[in-house]
Chains A and B, each alone.
Chain A
Amino acid sequence: MRKIKLTLSQRRMILGLVFIAPWLFGFVFLFASPLLQSIQFSLNKLTITAGGYQLEYVGWSNFKYALFEDATFNRLLVESVGAMAVNVPLILFFSLFSATLLNQKFPGRSLARSMFFLPVILTSAAVSAAESAGLLNLLGDANAAEEMSGASGQFNTLSLMYILIDAGVPEVFVDYLVDAVLRIYDIISSSGVQILIFLAALQSIPGAMYEVAKIEGATAYESFWKITFPMVSPLILTNIIYTIIDSFMQSQVTKTVYSTAFESLNFGLSAAMSWLYTLVVGLVLVVVGALVSRKVFYQN
């Protein structure tokens, strides 16, 4: 057999293909083909038979049913987009703030960092589901102690709201803030990965830039907006996209899609629902991506 002579770059090409071969194989069989199948399913009525499944073409009726007849689906879809619109700015702001804090030098920094990353470990859909089912409301409730002693030891949101509204802050904004304070645990627990990404970005900013700014007389506030913010802005886009996807993954819509398929055994409808949902996520990503990437500063 004659040996085929290959140039170095051709050999490198083949080697590269060998390295990505497992992924490529998986992509074709476990991602691309299910994706196409899922489009097919959404246009059909699927019945499981003993040796597989049967399809019966029904056109757009699954989509029509999901949008116009199903009692809850469109409400859930709108709600999850709304929840995302509320959460994404909060999570982004919080994670950038925490990353800036954790990037400063102070004693106990590594302890603080490991604390802030703990939520990455502990966020679990199963745990939160079980937690909401557990109804332990009486325990450690400061209200009970309050009633007994007559003293108020708890953070009183209502009075804070009145103070802010009296101070002339718009009511919508106050509601938003109070809501954020009340859900602080949710916000913290879903910003672990984002803090990580921002922190890595902050560490890649050369320290000389800050030194120069300091010599030129810039305040900390100015150097944040003139140096830190533009330098991390590409990662703001990354984080926005990650947060949007993450918030959709945990939404009620996913659960509805799952239960439609595996509890009601209506696979076609479930596929249609998940495609509607994918389109909404895609639309949000395109709009947000286009808006944000205009403002992003790239060094090159």
Chain B
Amino acid sequence: MTPAKMQQQTELMYRTNRVRTKSAAWLWSLFRYVIIIGISFIIIYPILLKISVAIMDKQDIYNPTIFLVPQHFTWDNIKMAAEVLNFFPALGTTLLYVVLTMLLQAASCAMAGYGFARFSFPGSNVLFMLVILTILIPTSTLMVPMYLHFRNFDIMGIIHLFTGKDGVNTINTLTPSIITSMTANGLKSGLYIYIFRQFFKGLPKEIEEAALIDGAGGFKTFFRIMLPNATAPLITVMLFAFVWQYNDTFYTSLFMGEAELLSNKIASLPAHASAYINNALMIASPGAEPDPNHVAMVVDTGILLAILPLIVLYLFVQRYFVESVERSGVVG
């Protein structure tokens, strides 16, 4: 074989190899897109379905040829669901409640996380194990004592000591939620403390030493230097706290069962929607039975209305959230 021919052959080999790796990469990226689009579709399909139901007229329910795009549009379902849910007042109360608990939880958990990450005091490791314990013990174990505790609220018998009366009934007020979130013992607080601790552990110690030399005290260092650096875990924790508190039925049904909160309203929505439609029918034509599918339509629309604020919020913060995932200290 002449050297020229050999070179030709190696070149050919290189070229086929390149074509092969290129087509493999292309196939893989096609496969990846198919999978990602598929999973994304599964995730948003229920939302699409609810949107479709929300704007669909009653007469389209039994038309089997309709899929996602309705033939007759109407706002009736949305109006009805909003009325059954008492939507805007309930949303206002919910937002107020959720934002309040979110801020308190983020503040108390950030402080605790910082305390565990940066200071060593006798038993600090044992105490941190106890934080993990709060994540592990099912909340239902504490349910009854917590309820009785807040039904008869009295810290260390102070009220009894001074007034001679028994404690105050704080059920169905904001007090239980404020107290639990202020003391970093609210919904999933252990997880938030953990996230903050991991993040603060990852920050270089030199920052604080510099602040100490410049004469900043512990709190000043925390608020002026550590917190502004902690936007990533703050956003993550605040989003989680907001969303989980918004969706929570455990604490709300336990402490605020009678409050005008959307999670309470959604839980009782099927019954209320059916009663509402029944009432409307009774006025129009006595003796008529409500169509269960119509009730289901209103329920679905109500669910959509309730999760809509979360979706809108997510659209705004998802960029920070997705970015913060890369830098937050979720890693153990």
Contact = CB atoms under 8 A, between A and B. Distances in A.
A272 to B, nearest CB: 11
Given A20-B112, A135-B292, A26 B140 contact: no
Given A13-B119, A24-B127, A115 B40 contact: yes
A105 B162 CA distance: 66
A20 B36 contact: no
A75 to B, nearest CB: 18
Contact of A134 (B52, B139, B243, B296): B296
B71 to A, nearest CB: 13
B263 A38 contact: no
Nearest to B35: A101
A270 interface: yes
B141 A35 contact: yes
A110 B328 contact: no
Interface size classification for chain B: 35 or more
For the residues of A in contact with B, the DSSP-based class is helix
Given A122-B307, A136-B297, A23 B145 contact: no
The bracket for how many chain A residues form the interface is: 35 or more
B231 interface: no
Nearest to A197: B330
B121 interface: yes
Q: Taking each of A17, A41, A281, which has the highest tally of chain B beta carbons within 10 Å of its own beta carbon? A: A17
A140 B49 contact: yes
Given A38-B142, A117-B325, A275-B141, 6 more contacts: A16-B121, A26-B185, A106-B29, A106-B32, A130-B299, A134-B296
Interface of A: 12-20, 22-27, 29-31, 33-35, 37-38, 41, 46, 51-53, 98, 101, 104, 106, 110, 112-127, 129-131, 133-142, 144-145, 147-148, 184-185, 188-189, 196-197, 199-201, 203-204, 234-235, 238, 241, 245, 248-249, 253-254, 257-258, 261-262, 267, 270-271, 274-275, 277-278, 281-282, 285
Interface of B: 29, 32-33, 35-36, 39-40, 42-44, 46-47, 49, 52-53, 61-62, 64-68, 108-109, 111-112, 114-116, 118-122, 124, 127, 130-131, 134-149, 152, 155, 166-167, 179-180, 182-185, 189, 193, 218, 222, 240, 243, 246-250, 253, 263-264, 266-267, 269-270, 292-293, 295-297, 299-300, 302-303, 306-307, 310-311, 314, 318-319, 321-322, 325-326, 328, 330-332
